[in-house]
Amino acid sequence: MALGLNNLEAYNSAINQLLETIDIFKGLKAGKNWKPWQTGVICSTTTVFDFQADYLKRGHTFLLTARLIQGCLENLFGCIRYKNPTPDALEFRQALKTVSVAQYMMCPITGSYLEDDRRFLADYMQCDFQEQKEDG
């Protein structure tokens, strides 16, 4: 779903759907107690609502909500847990370093990896910091 002001009817419909989703999950009864997944759905939906308001206020044309998924983070954790499904803190740190350095190596010819145009993980914080410095 794309949220933008080019088509106000579609925008209002999408916003109403987000607000209705929040209301449904607030009123949903699943057992005696409030469930963590209810909080997750409400937080995620509220985040999308807040993101779109902020992006449109800053002058962006639209927000592609499908891009807000955690696929790259899940892939990173999958690489870290490849050799040890339950690493301790030190093993996690070492595996994270290995994965971060390995991204600069060539993809194997026999691998099923596709190269993309995303920022490298090691450059992410530096790029984000530079953008904030330029903006503010």
Ordered per-residue pLDDT tens for the chain, 136 residues: 788 888 989 999 999 999 999 999 999 988 888 888 899 899 999 999 898 999 899 998 988 888 887 777 788 888 888 888 898 999 989 888 888 877 666 565 666 666 656 665 555 555 555 555 565 5
Q: Are 121 and 76 in contact (CB under 8 A)?
A: yes
Say whether both 35 and 59 belong to one domain: yes
Chain-centroid distance of CA 26 in Å reads 23
List alpha helices for the chain, DSSP H.
Answer: 8-27, 36-57, 71-80, 89-102, 121-135
**pLDDT, position 31:** 85
How many of the other CB atoms lie within 10 Å of CB of 20? 11
How many of the other CB atoms lie within 10 Å of CB of 95? 19
Domain that residue 58 falls in: 2-68
How many of the other CB atoms lie within 10 Å of CB of 18? 17
E-strand stretches of the chain: 2-4, 62-64
CA distance 52 to 75: 26
Say whether both 78 and 28 belong to one domain: no
Say whether both 79 and 49 belong to one domain: no
Say whether both 23 and 56 belong to one domain: yes
